[in-house]
Structure formats: structure tokens, C-alpha cells
Amino acid sequence: MNILSWYFNKSFMFKMTAGFVIGIVLGFLLGEDSSFLAPLGKLFLNLLKMIVIPLVVLSLMVAVNHSSPKELGRIGAKIFPLYLLTTAVAIFVGIAVAYVTNPGAGLTLPADAVVKPPDNPNFIDTIINMVPSNIYMAFSEGDILAVVFVAIVLGLAILFMRHSDDPKQREMGDLVFRITEAGNEVISKILSGILQYAPIGIIGITANTIGSQGMDTVVALGMFILTAYIGVASMVLLVYPLILKVFGVNVFDFYSRIKDAVFTSFATSSSLSTLPITLKAAEKAGIGERVAKLTLPIGATVNMDGTALRFGMAVIFAAEIMGMSISFGDLVTIVVIGTMAAIGTAGVPGAGLIGMSIVFTQAGLPLEIVALTAGINALVDMVFTCGNVTGDLVAAKIVDQSERKAALKAGIYYDHGYD
């Protein structure tokens, strides 16, 4: 009993760090045998996935009702250019860091791996498919963009009903709104419970990831791994702080408030599974409810700075292995292709490898090099996902700052939306 209350009273971050360290130690000690711990991690990811759809739907419906269609449009018009810009910058940083570290030096193209090019995602299809022909299918397949669309439509319908001239509509709108709010509370309660289990799940994920790495591959691709970490560190410690500073944000304070989400993204390698914790972190970091709940679910699927950085560095990596030189024109093309591919990459573990195949196919680079990095993907996926989630929170914070400033200028009180 004592040990349980000790456990419940410890901070989330302490327990997560402890889980991570225990996972690393077990992974090293047990090697491949650590796979028996994998179910502990799978259970944690399943729990997160279980609540992510209801959480997005209910919290977005509530947020829309605390907002107005005009405000939603304005937030959208601010966040998308920011996503594009930071993604392109991340590819550029990936290219620049790889030029310094030379991750491909001394490596040769593996001759044996035969790799099939993936289907190219069609941009128009992605947009059209945001409007699902079947709501239940969108929910059951976890198609987050379609889910966001449905949630906004439902939220707006309720909002209009609540402000209708017809008292009957108002009454029903209010009723559905209250039920939605209550449902949202229920999901938050479940999330608190899941977070108590999180550190144990992290032990399972980390032990299995570390234990299943072939040490020879890790050593051979050491520079590739190092470049990934330096690249994301450059984004998190240089690029984002610079942007945040311009918008008057206290960088240190901001990072210390979002650390739970950053850490969870690192440990789970999934922006989507981290989303419940990202939303909680946004509240802690003072990002207004409407901005957070509208932008973060979309960001978890389309804004992938870490993944984009991977594409930039991977192209240089490949060019080094092939002994090719890359012109400035090629670099611009890579930034454009990479940005599109990053938008199309899902926020789940391993998705960046598929995106990398798409970039390589379009850039005419051999897919065998993608296969070459697959062996250590788990190690770099962690840090790229960390870049993805940090980028989502940074973009949300900037939009929130700009909304606050606009309200101040107009002499309107900025209601952050939380109780």
C-alpha cells in the first residue's frame, strides 16, 4: 500500500525518466530476450490510441463552441503557413547538419536489398479524403484529419443551434453541448488513469527497442544516428527558441512546461499516441484552448519537422554513398518534395521510412539506402518524433501569442478557454 501511494505521489516526469532508464538498462542486459517486455509497451500505446479519437472529437467540439467560425478561420490561416515554413526550415537544417557530419562517408550501397517503391500519396486525394464518406469508418480507422473535420462540423452545428432564434433549437443545442462537455471530462479522467501506467509502458517500449538493436548496424550507422540527434537538437535549441523569442515567449519556461509531451514523444515514437499528453502540455504552457485543440490534432498528422529533417539529411547521406554531387537546384527540389512528403507522413512509429522512400523515388535515389537505415530506425524515430511534437507545440504557442496580441491591440479580453 505504501509503495503504491509513493508511486502515485511521484511526478510524471520523474516516473517517466525512471521508466526510461530502467528500460535502457534492461535492454542492454537482456538483449533480444527483452522482447518479453514488449507487451507492457504495446498495452500503453493501445490505451493511448483507445482514447485519442474520442478525446479529439469531444475536446474539439467543446473548443469550437467556445469560439466563432471567424476565429477558427483566422487560426487556420495562421497555423498552416507556419507549418509549411517550419517544415521547410527543418529540411534545410537536416541538409546543413549532414553537410558538416558526413553521415554517409565510408559506407557503400548494399547490393542485396531489393526494395519496391511505395505508392505516391496524391495531394488532391488527401484533401478530398478529409471529408469522409463514412463517419464510423473514419473513426474506426483512426483517420485523424477526417475525424477533425467531422468534429468541427458537429461543433459548429451545435454552436449555431445554441445561438439560434428558435428557443427549441437553443434548448437542444445547450443540452448536447452539456453532454459533450461531460463526455470530455470523462475522457480526461480516463487519461489521468492511463498516465499512471505510462512509466511501466515506457519500460517495455525502451527495453524492447534497445534490446532489439543489432550493435554492428548501430556502429556502422553511428554518424547517421548522431546527425539525426544533432539536427533535432539544432531545431529545439536554436531554431525554435529564435522564433519563440521573436514572439515574446520565455523559452526556458515554455520548454519546462511542455517536457512531459516531449519526453513521451521520444519514448513512444508516435505523435498521434502522444497527442493526449501534448494537449495537456499545451494547457500547462498557457496555449489557449481553442488554438491548442484546433491545431494540435492537425499538427500531429501534418506538421512533421523531425521527419522533414530526416528527409534532408537522408538525401545528403545517399549522395555521399553514391558519390553524387548535389546542385543548388536539386536542394530546392528536395525541400519542396520533402515538405509534401512530411505532410503526408502519418504520426505513427516507422512512418518516416515510407516517407523517405517517397522522397528517394522522386529524387531518383536508390531505395536500398532506405533499407540500409531501417535497422536503426527505432533509434532515430524517437528523436524525429520528438522534433515533430515539439514543432507542433511551438507553432501552437506562436499562434496563441499572435491571437493574444491581436486581442490586446483591439482592447478585447483574451479568454484562454480553460475553466
Task: Return all residues near 393 (Cβ < 8 A) that are at least 6 apart.
Answer: 258, 261, 262, 278, 281, 282, 285, 287, 296
Round the CA-based radius of gyration of the chain to a whole number and report it.
22
Question: Given candidates 67, 101, 206, 271, which one binds ligand ASP under the rule CB under 6 A?
Answer: 271
Shortest Å distance, C-beta 128 to ligand ASP: 23
Taking a C-beta distance cutoff of 8 angstroms, is the pair 227, 67 a contact?
no
Is the Cβ of residue 62 or residue 353 nearer to ligand ASP in the bound state? Answer: 353
Task: Return all residues near 179 (Cβ < 8 A) that are at least 6 apart.
Answer: none
Tell me the residue type at 39. P
Shortest Å distance, C-beta 99 to ligand ASP: 21
Shortest Å distance, C-beta 388 to ligand ASP: 4
- Piece of the chain touching ligand ASP by CB under 6 A; list 28-36, 266-274, 289-297, 358-366: 266-274
Question: Given candidates 151, 351, 372, 394, which one binds ligand ASP under the rule CB under 6 A?
Answer: 351
Question: Given candidates 26, 51, 275, 348, which one binds ligand ASP under the rule CB under 6 A?
Answer: 348
Cα angle: 81, vertex 224, 82; to 5 degrees: 5
Question: Given candidates 204, 231, 338, 347, which one binds ligand ASP under the rule CB under 6 A?
Answer: 347
Is the Cβ of residue 211 or residue 347 nearer to ligand ASP in the bound state? Answer: 347
Is the Cβ of residue 273 or residue 401 nearer to ligand ASP in the bound state? Answer: 273
Query: How far is 301 from 144, CA to CA, in rounded Å?
Result: 7
Shortest Å distance, C-beta 351 to ligand ASP: 4
Question: Given candidates 345, 357, 361, 401, which one binds ligand ASP under the rule CB under 6 A?
Answer: 345
Query: Is there binding between residue 87 and ligand ASP (CB under 6 A)?
Result: no
- Piece of the chain touching ligand ASP by CB under 6 A; list 191-199, 233-241, 378-386, 407-415: 378-386
Query: How far is 206 from 327, CA to CA, in rounded Å?
Result: 40
Q: How many CB atoms lie within 10 A of CB 298?
A: 21
Query: Is there binding between residue 401 and ligand ASP (CB under 6 A)?
Result: no
Is the Cβ of residue 72 or residue 267 nearer to ligand ASP in the bound state? Answer: 267
Is the Cβ of residue 159 or residue 267 nearer to ligand ASP in the bound state? Answer: 267
Taking a C-beta distance cutoff of 8 angstroms, is the pair 224, 317 a contact?
yes
Question: Given candidates 307, 357, 361, 373, which one binds ligand ASP under the rule CB under 6 A?
Answer: 307
- Piece of the chain touching ligand ASP by CB under 6 A; list 139-147, 196-204, 282-290, 383-391: 383-391
Write out the three cell numbers for 68.
Answer: 466563432
Interaction residues for ligand ASP, span 138-167 (CB under 6 A) = none
| String of DSSP letters for 96-144 | HHHHHH-TTTT----SS---PPPPPPPHHHHHHTTS-S-HHHHHHTT-H
Interaction residues for ligand ASP, span 47-76 (CB under 6 A) = none
Query: Is there binding between residue 361 and ligand ASP (CB under 6 A)?
Result: no
Best CA proximity match to 205, nearest among 40, 50, 61, 316: 40
Taking a C-beta distance cutoff of 8 angstroms, is the pair 393, 287 a contact?
yes
Task: Return all residues near 16 (Cβ < 8 A) that are at least 6 apart.
Answer: 198, 199, 202, 260, 263, 264, 267
Query: Is there binding between residue 388 and ligand ASP (CB under 6 A)?
Result: yes
By CB under 6 A, name the binding residues for ligand ASP: 269-271, 304, 307, 345, 347-352, 381, 384-385, 388
